[in-house]
Every structure is written in structure tokens, then in C-alpha cells.
Homo-oligomer: A and B are copies of this chain.
């Protein structure tokens, strides 16, 4: 299945092995590329997207018609300079923007729904590497990602150490905490409680579980913003009322506070571009993510392939107002890399936007990204 709006896609030549022991057949990967691949194929940068992101990192989204989600970072002359690098961004498996996921057709010709296998971050990375294989790219100049993209960057480095020279992981973690899992579980329960979810078999029905998905998105969105950022942006300011009263309480249940209106807008806008089952599968993959556990319980062992400077160079970036994946999470990764003697730089940037800072206007991030990639 390839939505008409997907620009580039390929089907993997063989089955994709999964952490659950199964293999996924006929896997399609939808992707975008920017800039030219050098003759020696040595200038490829793989960007990994976040939970609800997609491959349209620096081009207009075909559904929302909005600019790419990282246009400020990727393009000619930008920190990730497409005059210099060949940038690749692929939709993760399990998602819904052209790569194989629960909304894709099973071999029987009907959508997988909840028959889709539960995948992991490492499974997503296996698909990314299979795409690189198909492109003939043996070794990436860099892998770059924020949030779940950073998990993939770390997982790629851990599991495919020969495939990458530089690893840039932003606002991320090596494992989901109990609180991280709790917020995701809340979102999944909201989706599965929506009667339109129908056990995942809502494709082709008149209604999708949009209400549940909107609530899930609202919950997640609160975690993406800092308390300070919310206060600065909205405080306790009231909406102007439809009856023309400005800044007066309506004593009702419509969105009165600006922050309520904002959250409702975030929730409802999201349902137009995202599939509820994909939200279930991708949050599950993130909750399962524990890079140390995958490697015998010691995070340093995950990076054994980079010991004593023989592998990639690493750069970790955190934000001081990110309470989803706080600085301590990045520091934990840095300590593990230090323990094996891998070269790593680490910076905590100050920005008011919480976890979402990696997507927003933080000039210091631009400088860190450019400096690390070009250095």
C-alpha cells in the first residue's frame, strides 16, 4: 500500500526480522532525500524522526500542506547543509505515512490492524539499515535524531556500529522511565476506550477513534512543553468570548482559558494526519526501549563497538526545561560512552520550550549541530 501522496518508497527485497521473533514480509519504506549523494557515498546523513513525525523533514507535508518539521535545520546553507550532505529521512515502520504499519494491507488484502506485530525501536532501525543497504550506503556520515529519533540514533550506533561515523542524539533517553510509560499508557487507554476503535478494525468505517487519539495527543503535548513555557505562552489568560466579552469568565465548559483552546486544537489537528493504531504501536515501541537491557543490563556494553575511539564520535544534547527526557537521561548515556572510551561531547542547552525545544528556534542548537557534523 502506497498512499498517492508518498513521493518515494521502496519495498525491501527480503523479510525484516523482528525482536518478537517473527519477520515482516513485503516491507515498504517511504522516504525523502535532500541534496546529492557523493560519488563515494560518504556524505549521507540519516535523520530519524520522532513519534508523530514523518519523512517530510524539509519539504511540504502532503496532507497538512505545512512546511517540513525541521526546515529550520535542514536545507541549503542550513546547519544540516544539503549543499554538502545527502540527507535521508524515512518514515518508521509502524507509522502511517507510507511505510508499512497497522494501516497497511496484510497479505490477505485487508489492513493489518492489531494483527500487525508489536515492534521495537531496534526493529525500526533494522528497517532504516535495510533501506541504506538498498541504497548502497555502507557507512553513514552521521545519524541524527531528536526524541524517538535520538533513540533510533543510539540504537543504530549500538547495533550497527560499523554503519555510522557520527551520532547526534538530541533530547532523548536510553530507556523509558515509569513516568514516560505512564503517559503513553494513558494515551493508549484513551484510544482503546473510544468505541470507534473497534479493536483496531476501524479502517473503512465511517468513524475512526479520533476522540481517543485527540485525548492521547493532548496528554503527550503537555509533556512536550515546560511548565515555564506554558505559563509564558498562556498563563491564566482567558479566550475572548463569542458573545464579545473580553477576558470574562463564562462559567461554562467551553474552552475558556487559552491553554484549553490550544490543547483542543492540537488534539483535533493531529487526528487528520495520524493513525490511531500507529500511535499505539509506536508508543509501545518507545516504552519497550531500554538499550542497556538489550545488551545484558549494562549500558556501556551497548556501545562496545565504539570502544577506545575505534568507532563513531557521539554528541548528546539536552535542554534544561525538558522534563520528559531530562538532562540526567543524556548524562547517563554520556557516562556509558565515557566508560568504553568513545569520543563524546555533551551539552545542556538553555531554552524555554521544554522537550519541544529541539524542533523550535534555539540558535545554540543550530551551532552545536553544524559544529558536530562539519567537524
Contact = CB atoms under 8 A, between A and B. Distances in A.
B185 A227 contact: no
A211 B186 contact: no
Contacts of A344: none
A114 B253 CA distance: 9
Contacts of A231: 177-179
Nearest to A196: B195
Contact of A219 (B181, B186, B211): B186
Nearest to A260: B185
Tallying the copies of this chain within the complex gives 2
B118 A218 contact: no
Given A177-B227, A215-B215, A188 B253 contact: yes
Nearest to A183: B222
B179 A227 contact: yes
A253 B178 CA distance: 16
Contact of A185 (B176, B218, B290): B218
A214 B222 CA distance: 19
Q: Is the interface of A mostly helix, strand, loop or mixed?
A: helix
Interface string A228-239: 001101111000
A175 interface: yes
Interface in A103-123: 114, 117-118
Interface in A269-320: 280, 284, 287-288, 290, 293
A interface residue count range (under 10 / 10 to 19 / 20 to 34 / 35 or more): 35 or more
Given A178-B227, A227-B323, 14 more contacts: A19-B251, A118-B253, A176-B236, A177-B227, A177-B230, A178-B230, A178-B231, A178-B234, A178-B257, A185-B255, A185-B257, A193-B211, A193-B214, A253-B284
29 contacts: A19-B251, A20-B251, A114-B253, A117-B251, A118-B253, A175-B236, A176-B236, A177-B227, A177-B230, A177-B236, A178-B233, A178-B257, A178-B259, A179-B225, A181-B257, A182-B218, A182-B263, A183-B222, A185-B263, A186-B215, A186-B218, A186-B219, A186-B222, A189-B264, A193-B194, A193-B215, A236-B290, A249-B288, A253-B280
Interface of A: 19-20, 114, 117-118, 175-179, 181-183, 185-186, 188-190, 192-195, 211-212, 214-215, 218-219, 222, 225, 227, 230-231, 233-236, 249, 251-253, 255, 257, 259-260, 263-264, 267, 280, 284, 287-288, 290, 293, 323
